[in-house]
Amino acid sequence: MKDVSPVALGVFLFFFLLVTVLGFAAARWRRAESLDSLDEWGLGGRGFGTFVSWFLIGGDIYTAYTFIAVPATLYAGSVVGFFAVPYTIVLYPIIFVFLPRLWSVSHRHGYVTPADFIRGRFDSRPLALAVAVTGLLATMPYIALQLVGIQVVLEVMGLGGSGSWFAKDLPLFIAFAVLAAYTYASGLRAPALIAFVKDTLIYIVILVAVIYLPTKLGGWDGIFHAATKAFDSFNADNAKDIAAGTVAGKGIVPPAAAHWAYASLALGSALALFMYPHSLTGVLASKNRSVIRRNAALLPAYSFLLGLLALLGFAAIAAGITVDNPQQSVPALFEKMFPPWFAGVAFAAIAIGALVPAAIMSIAAANLWTRNIYKAFLKPDATPAQEAKQSKLVSLLVKFGALAFVLGLPTQLAINFQLLGGVWILQTLPALVFGLYTRWFHRTALLVGWATGMVYGTWTAYQVPLPGKPGTHFGGPLSLVPFTDTKGYIALTAFALNVVVAVVLTLVFRALKLPEGTDQTSPEDYKADAGDAGVQQLPDPLEGEPANA
């Protein structure tokens, strides 16, 4: 255990206190003002324009995951670690195509969650429930990943991480309690306000890191050579184990055997991202269809920074950082290379960058619960006040669930848990995205396809051991594609299986003439734009309470 740098700690605590005060003060933000002023921000008004949407959607990509886990995989020599870049390239043409349709139909019918749309389109309560439950399940590890981000920073600063379990986890508990308290008090207002601090800090840190660090480490040339050298010597030392398949070879470029793994991770993650309830919230808040499409062209600016950030994993190698937990590599790099005060800023950026998405995700999950499970099944006659209370409580529960995830399981699994969440959430794509284009699929076939994908994906992921540790579970996102000897992203394999089952059973159920239910939507609903007849305003996301739904 090393000493805590007082300057770094002081700067970190300053920012942490600042956002805590902001978080609680947010309860009053905009509330006292007239309704007119909600226009620029709220779904309830004209919706978000291009700039605010760019900011919000981009914020979903820049989480602690970006800062910690992506460079960590490169630091660890994973040959597929750079997949985050093609992932965020292929993402945007995909959302260009289907999200405007979802925007239109949601604004015609007042759908706020993906499950709302499924219910209206397929007239199937079980299918809507399946989609809602999957959203909840998949969001949990995503929140957990954010908490891991905070934990890693705390450990590098020398807080927690050793001693009794109590001393070890106390700082994380405090950070968590603060997060829970102000989202409980202020709802979505808190993260919306804190996001300004978060994004400013993160941009500064990224720009400084990718410009300043290479000058100290022999340029990008020197950084790539250092990484190559380190991986080559690792491969030479472990040649026997690598040949036996018990240890994965390291490298900076994927060998032929890993090409499909790389491509399937990129494609699977891109398809999955906008199935998450919290990312859809931001898109539905856009002013009109054009905003979504224009942003599809503008958001890749983030991908460029993301790629440079990923390369900091190699920079850590060049700087001679040696840590057992690769996730500590970038925080340790900052600590070693930056003056203490700027390291404090960087740590604060990571921790706050974790708090904001964690808050948004837990609120999105809570709304999903309240609208699509509580109100739909448990208490259809709930009053708005009861609904708001449910949302608040569940938002707390979800965060506790995430905390249990983090404390109960090894932290180096963080990225893999998030990828497991990706495995689950991708199974809702056929109902949601295919449903935007066709009602050919039978609702029960979609449900069985979903279940097949969920079971296959979870079981397959369970069987993946951690590298070099046979008998362990959930060790990675990759597994052999059945009937081949190529590894691929489990989510995508499960998705393919899901689609095959849905197609076959649709043919069967149609032949059996099973009832299909009534479609609430009509074809022109999918093309409607702001200002058209019947296009309604959705509730203000800042309210974050189903009372307005």
Residue 543 has phi, psi (to 5 degrees) of: -70, -40
Question: Which structure tokens are listed for 520?
Answer: 């609430």
Query: Could you tell me if 149 and 350 are in contact, meaning their C-beta atoms sit under 8 angstroms apart?
Result: yes
Q: Closest CB to another protein among 128 and 267?
A: 267
For the bound state, the minimum distance from the C-beta of residue 81 to another protein, rounded and expressed in Å, comes to 12
User: What is the DSSP secondary-structure string of 139-184?
Assistant: HHHHHHHHHHHHHHHHHHHTSSSSSSHHHHHHHHHHHHHHHHHHHH
Polymer length in residues for the chain: 549
**Which residues of this protein are in contact with another protein, per CB under 8 A?**
82, 85-86, 89-90, 92-94, 96-97, 219-224, 252-256, 259-260, 262-263, 266-267, 288-290, 293-294, 296-298, 300-301, 303-304, 307, 311, 527, 529, 531-532
For the bound state, the minimum distance from the C-beta of residue 381 to another protein, rounded and expressed in Å, comes to 39
For the bound state, the minimum distance from the C-beta of residue 90 to another protein, rounded and expressed in Å, comes to 5
Q: Closest CB to another protein among 469 and 527?
A: 527
In sequence order, the β-bridge partners of residue 469 are: 466
Q: Closest CB to another protein among 297 and 500?
A: 297
Report the alpha-carbon distance of residue 454 to residue 423 in Å, rounded: 8
For the bound state, the minimum distance from the C-beta of residue 220 to another protein, rounded and expressed in Å, comes to 4
Q: Closest CB to another protein among 86 and 344?
A: 86
Report the alpha-carbon distance of residue 179 to residue 173 in Å, rounded: 10
**Rg of the Cα trace of the chain?**
23
Q: Which amino acid is at 207?
A: L
Angle made by CA atoms 138, 264, 224, in degrees to the nearest 5: 105
Q: Closest CB to another protein among 96 and 341?
A: 96
At a CB cut-off of 8 Å and minimum separation 6, what does 51 contact?
none
Q: Closest CB to another protein among 86 and 171?
A: 86
The 3-state DSSP class for residue 480 equals: strand
For the bound state, the minimum distance from the C-beta of residue 299 to another protein, rounded and expressed in Å, comes to 8
Residue 196 has phi, psi (to 5 degrees) of: -65, -45
Residue 514 has phi, psi (to 5 degrees) of: -65, 145
Q: Closest CB to another protein among 470 and 531?
A: 531
Query: Could you tell me if 61 and 305 are in contact, meaning their C-beta atoms sit under 8 angstroms apart?
Result: no
For the bound state, the minimum distance from the C-beta of residue 129 to another protein, rounded and expressed in Å, comes to 32
Report the alpha-carbon distance of residue 67 to residue 69 in Å, rounded: 6
Q: Closest CB to another protein among 92 and 274?
A: 92
For the bound state, the minimum distance from the C-beta of residue 535 to another protein, rounded and expressed in Å, comes to 12
For the bound state, the minimum distance from the C-beta of residue 268 to another protein, rounded and expressed in Å, comes to 11
